[in-house]
Amino acid sequence: MDELITEVIKVHVQEALREIFPEEGVEVIVEPAKDTRHGDFATNVAFLLARRRKKSPREVAQELQKIFQEKLQEIARVEIAGVGFINFFLTDHFLLSRLKRVFIEEEDFGAVNLGQNRRIQVEFVSVNPTGPLHVGHGKCAAFGDALARVLAKAGFQVEKEYYVNDAGRQIDLLGASLEARCRQLLGEDVEIPEGGYKGDYLIDIARQFLEEKGEALLNLPEGEKREIFKQFAVESILRDIRADLDRFRVFFDVWFHEQLLYQNDTVKTVLQILAEKGYTYERDGALWLKTTLWGDDKDRVLIRENGLPTYFASDIAYHWNKWQRGFDQVIDIWGADHHGYIPRMQAAVSALGLPQGFLEIFIVQFVTLLRGGQPERMSTRQGEFIPLKELVAEVGVDVARYYFLMRDPATHLEFDVEEAKKKSMDNPVYYVQYAHARIASLFKEAEKRGLKIEPFDQLQEVRFRVQEEREIVKKILYFPDVVKNAAQLRQPYLICVYLQDLASSFHSFYNLHRILDREDLSLTSFRLGLCRAMQIVLRNALSLLGISAPETM
RNA sequence: GCGCCCGUAGCUCAAUAGGAUAGAGCAACGGACUUCUAAUCCGUAGGUUGUGGGUUCGAUUCCCGCCGGGCGCGCCA
């Protein structure tokens, strides 16, 4: 497997190590050098071996250098620096011949086989259908979606799922709140129930309800009426949520309804399994799960004293269902307010006997929206929130997604709307997109001038004229490594960091060197080739984030 | 009180998950378009990585103690 440029070097290094130290099993790490004086890539194996062999790293490095050099003859020059770093200086020929894959693979360039076709499910957003999506949900949506795209690129078979909590007390409250709103519209003096939903959106839905269903329904028997209100509210809100997500370019493969877990007795089955394993017990009239066996602070209730199952019970059933569907791994993405829930969920998964690592849970921290220096907290319960829809209408999908994705989701995000709206260098999205548009423009200009361009693989003269060209090629070829890292660490923001760096190299190059040169068509063809490769990578990386790559700006 | 996340330039964040001299953007200052898109580039300035210990060839990164911020801690979701 030599799809990664680091892998090519690593394979040779490992081979050499087997010859010289057959008994040592060290894990070789090859990483890009930060400083060009340290070559292109470097490895630290000398340090690792030095410890075990009780020699100085420098000595070990010297031993290794010769044999590495032999192995890597065709690819690189090997040098030792500092206290024992082994640096690889790749040959121009190697870099340029590898660049050809970019043109061959096109939109597939960057794909790696980390996942080996294993099935992985990403479940995210899963907002209760009790109100519209707000900005905080947008961050979860962007993260989950980008993560799914990155994993797919890294060779996983990915399924995106939205879990709809359409059972339980919150939904009852929603129905009751809707009824209250209807009555208010008809002039009755009624209050929204305690703990109910006070957002204005329910007024719109109430209006719609009266229009479609008529007032007569208000006089139906209690039980029947409740179901109708609940269903109407949930369907209506879910429709809005789905529309918001569509607009945000987030599409789910499966919308899984909690009710199903009750209808097909999964909840019951799971309780039985846990009971048979002896992990449950009764106390104070409730049924408990011994989550403390797996490190939880205290045991948790499955069935309440009133006989109703907790959400925890149906969540366990849900994860059992995921397992039954045959995923090798599932990822849950939750809002920060749910982090206290992680230990018990993991405990439950262990109690069911599912393999360690089957369930991965990621927490997405809150977003602070800055608008005129006024920070606002997001919360569904307050009835005061900024809908995702509004933010998107204001700054656009590309900008919103990029801002959500450019940081580690585990950290708080400050989203300055005013800055995001500026079409200037303040805005990192445009910086990247501008690089893409500039390249597109170069090709148009070349055509306009009637320049006779040779395709890259047919070039007579393939060689670097300036250092910057070489740096660009190196960065382009590193893209598959970035995809692998982002997938392995579940961190799409690494794609953003990479894009900034890549775009920066291009802009810099563009300002420093002329690309279209009538006098030197060989040079022009070569540089346009680099631009084409750059453009492909920019486009591929942007598409991992679900962000467009415009031809003009 | 307990648990989780976070603390890096004035501001927002990186640092390839233990590597070499801690880097970008914004804000400040000074330069570059009669020539491929100036939404760009080049330069100057800006740091005791919250703090005190520890682990080792090496720590912004790992461990422990403090300090500060956020979020949780229900038979709510």
Phi, psi angles (nearest 5°) of residue A420 = -65, -25
Distance CA A244, CA A103 (A): 36
Taking the C1' atom of every nucleotide in all shown strands and the CA of A46, the nearest one is B57
Q: What is the ipTM of this complex?
A: 0.94
CA of A528, C1' of B2: distance in angstroms? 61
Residue bearing tokens 């400050």: A414
Question: Read out DSSP for A109-131?
Answer: TT---SSTT-EEEEE-----TTS
- Which of A439, A414, A429, A438 minimizes the C-alpha distance to A545? A429
Q: Are A346 and A361 in contact (CB under 8 A)?
A: yes
The pair of structure tokens assigned to A15 is 């081979």
Lateral strand order in the sheet of A280-283: A280-283, A286-289, A300-303
CA of A378, C1' of B9: distance in angstroms? 30
CA of A414, C1' of B46: distance in angstroms? 23
- Classify domain A424-544 at the CATH topology level: Isoleucyl-tRNA Synthetase; Domain 1 (1.10.730)
Distance CA A294, CA A298 (A): 10
Each residue's pLDDT expressed in tens, for chain A with a length of 553 residues: 457 999 999 999 988 888 887 766 777 889 999 888 899 999 989 988 887 777 888 888 998 998 999 989 889 999 998 888 999 999 999 999 999 999 999 999 999 999 999 999 999 999 889 888 888 889 999 999 999 999 999 999 999 999 999 988 888 889 999 999 999 999 999 988 888 888 888 999 999 999 998 888 888 888 888 889 999 999 999 999 999 999 999 999 999 999 999 999 999 999 999 999 999 999 999 999 999 998 888 899 999 999 999 999 999 999 999 999 999 999 999 988 888 899 999 999 999 999 988 999 998 887 877 765 555 544 433 334 688 898 899 889 999 999 999 988 888 787 878 777 765 546 889 999 999 999 999 999 999 998 888 888 888 888 999 999 999 999 999 999 999 999 999 999 999 999 999 999 999 999 999 999 988 999 999 999 999 999 999 999 999 999 999 999 8
CA of A344, C1' of B1: distance in angstroms? 21
Instruction: Report domain extents, chain A.
Output: 5-90, 424-544
Question: How big is chain A, counted in residues?
Answer: 553
Q: Are A383 and A393 in contact (CB under 8 A)?
A: no
How does DSSP classify residue A479?
H
Nucleotides of B under 7 A from a protein CB: 2-7, 12-21, 24-27, 32, 35-42, 56-58, 70-77
Distance CA A445, CA A38 (A): 38
The pair of structure tokens assigned to A342 is 């992680």
Nearest amino-acid residue to B35, taking CA and C1': A514
Query: Was domain A5-90 assigned CATH 3.30.1360.70?
Result: yes
Fold: same for A5-90 and A424-544: no
